[in-house]
């Protein structure tokens, strides 16, 4: 790693001040420290934010502070009851060692896992170079959908389920607190190849508020290995189900686009429909209709279809 200063902040404002122009926030450090070892990020200051006190916002919903660990999310009995999909998604993040230290904010804001991005000797488009090497290269793990010329997909499990749950993100920006949707949190990555999300380095993600509106939620992913492996595709679904009929449906896909991928038309299609094989398959087709497979990732289409069907059907139970 490059040499840097280390400081500990006790409040979001202090963190922002200490970080200055070239500092970054240190939570669990799983992504940040390993990027730094490869000199892909080279901050001159690390501000430890694990002890930052975060005041929960007013209003309804379940407020998760940015510094809550993935392990805490996975184990929390009340979260498990209210949002089973969130618990499932958290339980699949990395390994026990990672879950014990990884924070909610760190998981949401983690950088692309594209091997071109992370190869220290390649400066890809996302790192300011000329081209996206994955487009014509080794792209079996890459996106089916994108709004720009970077095809690396979002890999945060929590981003996918929180999108399905229509969570709100609370951010301190320029001294003021503001709220944004999950889509807004990631939108920049859809349009700007250099971006992993929409936050600037100085923005401080305070937490996430999950509305209690949807009583059912589920998360499914498929990886090459059984555990401790990145999802090839992941899917989260949430809604209300009575007598096998779904309302307020929201479905999101992970690892297929730079953002948690949502197709509103599919959610609208599902409104008031019975959760049958036929209906969930149709919803899957709607979600995948604009898929543009690259040379090696076409398998993600049938895989995504399977996961969408299974995740939606899981809401029945």
Partner 1 sequence: MNSKPSPNATAVDRRTFLKGLGTSAVVVASAQAKAAADEIDKAAGPGPQGPGAVPVTLTINGEKKDFSLEPRVTLLDALRNYGPLTGTKEVCDRATCGACSVLVDGKLIYSCTKLAIDAQGHEITTIEGLAKDGKLTPVQEAFIECDALMCGFCTPGFVLATTALLAENPKPSEEQVRHACSGNICRCGTYPHILKAALKASGQAVTETTTVMTYGVA
Partner 2 sequence: MAWPNPSQYLGKPATRLDGAAKVTGAAKYSYDVQPDGWLYGMILRSKLPAAKVTKIDLTKAQAMPGVKAVILAEGEQRTVRYYGQELAAVAATTKQQCLDALRAIEVTAEPLPFVVKEDDAMQPDAPSAVGGPPEPVPPAAPGTSPPSAPPEPESPNISKANVKGAAQADVDAAMASAAVVCEAELRTPVQLHHPLETHGSTVSVSGGQVTAWASTQGIFSVRDGLAGSLGVPQSNVRVICDYMGGGFGAKFGPGVHGGLAAKLSQAAGAPVKVMLTRFDQGLAVGNRPSSIQKIKFAAGADGKLIAADVENHGSPGISGGGKSAGGGGGATINTPYPIYKFPIFCAKQYGVVMNTGPSSAFRAPGHPPASYGTESMIDELAVKLGMDPLEFRLLNDTDPIRQREYAAGREKFGWNAKYKKPGTSPGPVKTGIGCAGATWGGGGRGTQAEAQINPDGTVEVRCGTQDLGTGSRTVVAIVAGEAFGIEPHQITVRIGDTNLPYSGGSGGSSTSASVSPAVWDACQKALAQLQLQSGVADARGANWSGACQKLGTTPLSAHGEWQEGYSSGGAGGVNFAEVEVDTETGYVRVKKIVSANDCGLIVNPLTTTSQINGGILCGMGYALYEERIMDRHTGMLLNTSFDSYKITGMSDCPEIEVILIDMPERGVIGIGEPAVIPSAGAIANAVANAIGVRVHNLPITPAKVLAALGKVPNMPNV
Contacts with partner 2 by CB under 8 A lie at 1, 39, 113, 115-116, 119, 121-122, 133, 136-138, 140, 222, 224-230, 232, 293, 295-299, 301-303, 306-307
Using CB under 8 A, which residues numbered 171 to 230 contact partner 1?
212, 227-228
Residue 36 beta carbon to partner 2: minimum distance, rounded to whole angstroms? 11
Contact 214, 239 (CB under 8 A): yes
Question: Which pair of tokens denotes residue 12?
Answer: 């979001």
Q: Give Cβ neighbours of residue 1 (< 8 Å, ≥ 6 apart).
A: 33, 36, 37, 39
Q: Give yes or no for residue 149 binding partner 1 (CB under 8 A).
A: no
Burial annotation 148-162 (CB, 10 A radius, 16+ → b, else e): bebbbbbbbbbbbbb
Q: Closer CB to partner 2, residue 66 or residue 304? A: 304
Tokens 């936050």: give the residue. 199
Residue 5 beta carbon to partner 2: minimum distance, rounded to whole angstroms? 15
Contact 69, 101 (CB under 8 A): yes
Among 21, 22, 39, 69, binds partner 1 (CB under 8 A): 69
Q: Closer CB to partner 2, residue 49 or residue 144? A: 144
Residue 145 beta carbon to partner 1: minimum distance, rounded to whole angstroms? 28
Among 72, 138, 184, 248, binds partner 1 (CB under 8 A): 72
Q: Closer CB to partner 1, residue 70 or residue 253? A: 70
Using CB under 8 A, which residues numbered 17 to 36 contact partner 1?
18, 26, 28-30, 33-34, 36
Angle at 224 between CA 221 and CA 226, to 5 degrees: 70
Closest C-alpha among 274, 273, 275, 232 to residue 253: 232
Residue 84 beta carbon to partner 1: minimum distance, rounded to whole angstroms? 15
Segment contacting partner 1 by CB under 8 A, of 58-66, 108-116, 164-172, 189-197: 58-66
Tell me, residue by residue from 89 to 128, as one string, x for binding to partner 1 by CB under 8 A and - for no binding. Answer: -----xxxxx-xx-x-------------------------
Give the CA distances from residue 214 to residues 72, 165, 229, 236, 240, in Å, rounded to whole numbers and listed in that order. 21, 7, 29, 13, 5
Q: Closer CB to partner 1, residue 96 or residue 302? A: 96
Binding site for partner 1 (CB under 8 A): 1-8, 10-11, 14, 18, 26, 28-30, 33-34, 36-37, 44-46, 48, 50-56, 60-63, 65, 67-69, 71-72, 76-79, 94-98, 100-101, 103, 212, 227-228
């Amino acid at each position: 790693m490059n040499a840097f200063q280390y400081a500990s902040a006790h409040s979001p404002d202090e963190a922002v001040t200490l970080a200055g122009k070239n500092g970054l926030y240190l939570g669990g450090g799983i992504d940040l420290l390993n990027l730094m070892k490869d000199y892909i990020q080279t901050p001159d200051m690390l501000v430890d934010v694990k002890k930052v006190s975060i005041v929960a916002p007013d209003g309804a919903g379940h407020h998760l502070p940015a510094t809550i660990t993935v392990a805490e999310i996975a184990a929390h009995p009340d979260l498990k009851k209210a949002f089973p999909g969130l618990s499932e998604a958290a339980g699949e993040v990395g390994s026990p060692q990672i879950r014990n230290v990884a924070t909610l904010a760190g998981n949401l804001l983690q950088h692309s896992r594209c091997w071109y991005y992370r190869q220290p000797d390649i400066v890809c488009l996302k790192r300011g170079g000329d081209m996206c090497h994955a487009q014509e290269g080794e792209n079996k793990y890459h996106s089916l959908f994108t709004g720009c010329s970077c095809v690396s997909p979002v890999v945060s499990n929590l981003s996918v389920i929180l999108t399905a749950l229509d969570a709100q993100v609370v951010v301190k920006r320029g001294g003021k607190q503001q709220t944004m949707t999950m889509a807004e949190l990631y939108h920049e990555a859809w349009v700007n190849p250099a971006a992993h999300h929409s936050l600037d380095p100085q923005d401080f993600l305070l937490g996430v508020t999950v509305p209690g509106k949807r009583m059912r939620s589920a998360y499914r992913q498929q990886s090459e290995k059984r555990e401790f492996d990145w999802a090839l595709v992941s899917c989260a679904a949430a809604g209300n189900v009575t007598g096998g009929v779904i309302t307020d449906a929201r479905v999101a896909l992970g690892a297929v686009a730079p953002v948690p991928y949502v197709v509103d038309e599919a959610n609208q299609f599902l409104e008031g429909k019975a959760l049958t094989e036929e209906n969930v398959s149709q919803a899957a087709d709607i979600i995948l209709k604009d898929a543009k497979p690259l040379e090696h990732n076409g398998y993600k289409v049938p895989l995504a279809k399977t996961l969408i069907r299974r995740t939606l059907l899981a809401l029945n139970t």
